[in-house]
Chain A
Amino acid sequence: MERIYLDSNATTVVDPLVKQSMDPFFCQMYGNPNSLHRFGTETHPAMSIALDRMYSAVGAADEDDIIINGCATEGNNTVLKGAFLDAIAKGEPCHIITSQIEHPSILHTCQYLEKEHGVEITYLPVNSDGLVTLESLKANLVPRKTSLVSIMWANNETGLINPIKEMAEYTKEHGVLFHTDAVQAFGKLPINLQEVPVDYMTFSAHKFHGPIGVGGLYVRSAAPNTALLHGGEQMGKKRAGTVNVPFMVGMGLAMELAVQHIDYYDKEVRKLRDKLEDAILALPDTMIIGERKYRTPNTILASFKGIEGEAFLWDLNKNGVAASTGSACSSEELEADATFQAMDMDNNLSHTGVRFSLSRFTTEEEINSAIEIIYKTVQRLRDISSTYVGP
């Protein structure tokens, strides 16, 4: 087997059907959709179908907005900075509640707003299961003061699923806006915004076998909607910039396919994930973060005692397996794995995390091979290790 991709929380392979749907819009129907002539207008039916697919995939009402943008980072920035700009416009102070385990596109934006603009930010901790709790939100939300709550639906490193429905209902009861970054949830969990009263939700096509470089921001009808980009009149003046037709078309189909495969994901991807997880746990001195029942079906964050995360990735990569780690040495940050720190785990394990994330294109053969390679890697690196003393 040439190489095995187990880093699907970073990005996914584009579904061949999705690519096929995009192809005509590069060299045949390439008109600017804002143009009056036929080159432009002939793209409209496909864009309309794409929007229908997106609305249907998340259970949005026709009165709600789904704004097509460049990525979830853009969507997250739009919501957070929009809350700040909205507060300024009303002459009110801005208070945002988020959590310690959010993606950098939330955390760094909050830190920017906090430092540069004096926005009050509350970072909710996680409990021993790695989850943000409703109780923690209740303890920190201040009605008539809190401007926005932003909590991720599922965590990118652990796959742990937060109680978004309960939190959204609670904030709604208290008249506070609620945003969720659903990048790691859409396509892995059933999502129906008719049942979950979030005001804003961000998602990104490349996490569910769509192309990289296109995302969406759901905005419930009547929720404030401040544009981040001003310019032309695209997206109902809510996000300027020529619409990327092929990518929009691709994302629409990718969302429809993701919903169609949700049962397969829950059964078959979960089965493969559990097989890999069981094999890892069969090794001595290993640990998986978070109980299975609280996690998306495709994600494992494993700790291999005595082995530093980047060294593990190096060996896996050499043997054709792609995985990931959030700890210091794999990234340009120097600190320990943020999730381990937020969960207040044993400090000695904070550099030992390795994330394996599957997709619906992952095969059993790949998992079998990956298990063999993981076993060899653990053996070699524990032999080198100065801290591993054996089971």
Chain B
Amino acid sequence: MAKNDLLGGSLWDNYSNKVADRMDNPVYQGQITEKEAETLGARLVVADWGAESCGDAVRLYWAVDKKTDVIVKASFKSFGCGTAIASSDMMVELCLGKTVDEAIQITNIDVEKALRDDPDTPAVPPQKMHCSVMAYDVIKQAAAIFKGVEKGILDDDEMVCECARVTLKTIQEVIRINDLKTVEEITDYTKAGAFCKSCIKPGGHEQKKYYLVDILKETRAQMDMEKVRIVEEPFTTRSPFQKMRLIENYFDAEVKPLLHKDGGDVEILDIRDGDEGTTVIAITYKGACMSCSSALTGTLNFIENGLRDKVDDSIRVSVQ
């Protein structure tokens, strides 16, 4: 890759022909009026997402059939770069003919894939992927308006980056799908962390519930765990280092994310052989877990049972 990295080239060289075509001649650009929707026997939905100050903003128009909830006509307007305009155009096309509930299932990944010229070559370079996230969010916003609920109710996920409107699920997906290894790559793909930067790691101007560094670490750990499960090897025959890695991965992937949600944390102090072939893992609680009444009961059971179930039955957990 080194030679290919030496010459930057133009971002535009990495746009698919479909992106270029849709930028030059968007098919669904425009607006729908109340009168037009009424003529179609449809209800008009107008949803806005994004902001000029962030560099991307989009308005989505849906005419939704009053009887079937099918989107019979759709169009968009956009303040954004070529990728944003092309993504919005494709997003509208993907919505057409679907019911509102079906449209909610469209993701930014679907939009990007639909813009590819061939299935294996991304439609845009990584740093422009964020433009398709906008399409994902505006659909949810339109559906929320249609259903008369807050958009958050439709989100099966939590917002990590408020500036770029990127959710936990989206970040986890792009890490997995694209095998991302750094926070910078996450920002390239989603725009999360590109603006106020508070969500990158603790210490920014705003305290966050989730940080990109943690999500990356935890998701990578989950991916490692999944790989380990594929190549099954008895826990007891592994080296101390391998045991340590496996247990750390389990904590990063399964235990810590849950404890973090309640402001708690846990640290592994030691892993040693116990009586009668057992493996003892010594832990200590941190944060909210230190004063939690269930730390030595329910939480401990959750940790130990999970380890015994997913790593090895010989494991016992000791709190120090």
Q: How far is the CA of A318 from the CA of B25 in the complex (A)?
A: 12
Q: How far is the CA of A386 from the CA of B56 in the complex (A)?
A: 10
* Across-interface contacts of B128 in A (CB, < 8 A): 329
Q: Which of A314, A327, A332, A388 contacts B12 (CB 8 A)?
A: A314
In contact, B77 and A350 (Cβ under 8 angstroms): no
* Across-interface contacts of B77 in A (CB, < 8 A): 384-386
Residue-by-residue, is B50-85 near A (CB-CB < 8 Å gives 1, otherwise 0)? Answer: 011111111100000000000000001111111111
Asked whether A240 is an interface residue with its Cβ less than 8 Å from the other chain, the reply is no
In contact, B53 and A348 (Cβ under 8 angstroms): yes
Asked whether B48 is an interface residue with its Cβ less than 8 Å from the other chain, the reply is yes
Q: Which of A317, A335, A387 contacts B57 (CB 8 A)?
A: A387
* Residues 305-361 (chain A) with a chain B CB within 8 angstroms: 306-311, 314, 317-318, 327-332, 334-336, 347-352
Q: Which of A327, A352, A386 contacts B48 (CB 8 A)?
A: A386
In the complex, which range does the number of interface residues on chain A fall in?
20 to 34
Leading 10 A-B pairs by shortest Cβ distance = A329-B81, A386-B77, A347-B53, A386-B59, A310-B81, A334-B194, A351-B55, A348-B52, A387-B79, A314-B82
Residue-by-residue, is B162-198 near A (CB-CB < 8 Å gives 1, otherwise 0)? Answer: 0000000000000000000000000100010011000
Asked whether B262 is an interface residue with its Cβ less than 8 Å from the other chain, the reply is no
Q: How far is the CA of A334 from the CA of B187 in the complex (A)?
A: 9
Residue of B with least CB distance to A347? B53
Q: How far is the CA of A383 from the CA of B128 in the complex (A)?
A: 23
| Nearest CB of A to B305, in Å | 44
Residue of B with least CB distance to A384? B29
Residue of A with least CB distance to B12? A314
| Nearest CB of B to A72, in Å | 19
In contact, B53 and A308 (Cβ under 8 angstroms): no
Asked whether B23 is an interface residue with its Cβ less than 8 Å from the other chain, the reply is yes
Q: Give the most central of A329, A350, A388: most B CB within 10 Å.
A: A329
Q: Which of B23, B79, B195 contacts A314 (CB 8 A)?
A: B23
> Given A332-B11, A387-B57, are A310 and B82 neighbors across the interface (CB < 8 Å)?
yes
> Given A318-B24, A347-B53, are A334 and B81 neighbors across the interface (CB < 8 Å)?
no
Q: How far is the CA of A328 from the CA of B81 in the complex (A)?
A: 9
Q: How far is the CA of A334 from the CA of B190 in the complex (A)?
A: 11
Asked whether B119 is an interface residue with its Cβ less than 8 Å from the other chain, the reply is no
| Nearest CB of B to A326, in Å | 12
In contact, B55 and A311 (Cβ under 8 angstroms): no
In contact, A308 and B55 (Cβ under 8 angstroms): yes
Residue of B with least CB distance to A309? B81
- Which residues on A are within 8 Å of B, measured CB to CB? 306-311, 314, 317-318, 327-332, 334-336, 347-352, 383-388
| Nearest CB of A to B147, in Å | 22
* Across-interface contacts of B84 in A (CB, < 8 A): 308, 311, 329
* Across-interface contacts of A308 in B (CB, < 8 A): 55-56, 79-81, 84
Residue of B with least CB distance to A335? B194
> Given A314-B12, A384-B29, A386-B48, are A306 and B79 neighbors across the interface (CB < 8 Å)?
yes
Q: How far is the CA of A350 from the CA of B53 in the complex (A)?
A: 6
* Across-interface contacts of B26 in A (CB, < 8 A): 384
* Across-interface contacts of B195 in A (CB, < 8 A): 334-335
Between A and B, 9 residue pairs with Cβ closer than 8 Å are A309-B81, A310-B81, A314-B82, A347-B52, A348-B53, A383-B29, A386-B77, A386-B78, A388-B79
Asked whether B127 is an interface residue with its Cβ less than 8 Å from the other chain, the reply is yes
Q: Which of A314, A335, A386, A388 contacts B58 (CB 8 A)?
A: A386
Asked whether B148 is an interface residue with its Cβ less than 8 Å from the other chain, the reply is no
Asked whether B203 is an interface residue with its Cβ less than 8 Å from the other chain, the reply is no
* Given A329-B82, A350-B53, 5 more pairs with CB closer than 8 A: A329-B84, A329-B128, A330-B11, A335-B194, A384-B77
Q: How far is the CA of A387 from the CA of B12 in the complex (A)?
A: 24
Asked whether B8 is an interface residue with its Cβ less than 8 Å from the other chain, the reply is yes
Q: How far is the CA of A318 from the CA of B21 in the complex (A)?
A: 12
| Nearest CB of B to A221, in Å | 39
In contact, B48 and A329 (Cβ under 8 angstroms): no
Q: How far is the CA of A327 from the CA of B55 in the complex (A)?
A: 9
In contact, B80 and A311 (Cβ under 8 angstroms): yes
* Across-interface contacts of B24 in A (CB, < 8 A): 318
* Across-interface contacts of A307 in B (CB, < 8 A): 79
Residue of A with least CB distance to B49? A386
In contact, B78 and A384 (Cβ under 8 angstroms): yes
* Across-interface contacts of A332 in B (CB, < 8 A): 8, 11, 127
| Nearest CB of B to A297, in Å | 29
* Across-interface contacts of A347 in B (CB, < 8 A): 52-53
* Across-interface contacts of B127 in A (CB, < 8 A): 332, 334
Residue of B with least CB distance to A387? B79
Residue-by-residue, is B29-63 near A (CB-CB < 8 Å gives 1, otherwise 0)? Answer: 10000000000000000001001111111110000
* Across-interface contacts of B11 in A (CB, < 8 A): 330-332
Q: How far is the CA of A318 from the CA of B58 in the complex (A)?
A: 23
Residue-by-residue, is B77-109 near A (CB-CB < 8 Å gives 1, otherwise 0)? Answer: 111111111000000000000000000000000
* Across-interface contacts of B52 in A (CB, < 8 A): 306, 347-349, 351-352, 387
Residue of B with least CB distance to A310? B81
Q: How far is the CA of A2 from the CA of B187 in the complex (A)?
A: 38
Q: How far is the CA of A308 from the CA of B130 in the complex (A)?
A: 15
Residue of A with least CB distance to B55? A351
Residue-by-residue, is B287-304 near A (CB-CB < 8 Å gives 1, otherwise 0)? Answer: 000000000000000000
Residue of A with least CB distance to B31? A386
* Across-interface contacts of B59 in A (CB, < 8 A): 386
| Nearest CB of B to A383, in Å | 8
Q: Give the most central of B11, B55, B82, B127: most A CB within 10 Å.
A: B55
